[in-house]
Amino acid sequence: MSKRVLAFDVYGTLIDTHGVIAELETALGERAAAFSQRWRDKQLEYSFRRGLMGAYTPFSACTREALEFTDRALGTGLSEGQKDRLMATYGRLPAFPDVAEALQRFSGAGVTCVAFSNGTREAVDGLLSQAGLRDYFDDIISVDEIKRFKPDPAVYSHLRDRMESEAQDTWLISSNPFDVIGARHAGLHAAWVRRSAEAPFDAWGGEPDVTVTDLLALSERLG
């Protein structure tokens, strides 16, 4: 009998990428939130662009390049030491408050859960470990293994290959619409974790199989 696999995106879904704001506030004060959002947007843009160019580099390099760009674009004049501290903070970002309990529910129900990320295995392992989440996952699957980025169809195919799962039994869980659309395009099921009530979904004509506001709600649907 086939077993359902839940593949959880990490950055923005399990881990709050805006958890870096506290460190930013020390240097930038009230400009911290705007800087954080611009940094995150540029980080993803760089991964998309590198994917299209066939110029892969680890996600941490995209993050650093995006930090450099945002500093220049906003004229914030961060020192190299401040940038190094921000990058270090990115390695110990906090989990969203609903995550641990939801993962515990899935684990108790015997659901196969994997972390599925643009980040390298080492980075994701460290991030989940410091957040107290690592033990809830059967494995970590990184795009670094095939040197592609989401939403390249090859990434979702790699997930299935690693898990030896059928498309109909494989679920992508993500707060990022581009990731949800990519998984659906590749034939997987997908749940969108709409962490902001103001967040729109892309008007591409397709919808997630499930939309929830947090992972606790998801555990009631799929646990």
* Residue of 9, 16, 71, 144 marked catalytic: 9
Is 41 among the catalytic positions?
no
Residues of the chain with CATH 1.10.150.240: 17-90
Q: Is 139 helix (H, G, I), strand (E, B) or coil?
A: strand
In angstroms, the CA 163 to CA 92 distance is 27
Distance from chain centroid for Cα 118? 7
pLDDT of 13: 97
Top-level CATH class of 17-90?
Answer: mainly alpha
Q: Which residue has the tokens 């967040």?
A: 199
CATH number, domain 5-15+94-222: 3.40.50.1000
Which residues have CB under 8 Å from 151's CB, separation 6+? 178, 179, 181, 182, 183, 185
Domain with CATH 3.40.50.1000 in the chain: 5-15+94-222
CB-hemisphere CA count at 13 Å for 192? 20
- Alpha-carbon Rg for the chain, nearest whole angstrom, is 17
Report pLDDT digits (tens) over 72-109: 999 999 999 999 999 999 889 999 999 999 999 999 99
106-160 pLDDT per residue, tens: 999 999 999 999 999 999 999 999 999 999 999 999 999 999 999 999 999 999 9
SS (H, E, C) 85-121: HHHHHHCCCCECCCHHHHHHHHHHCCCEEEEEECCCH
28-47 tens-digit pLDDT:
999 999 999 999 999 999 99
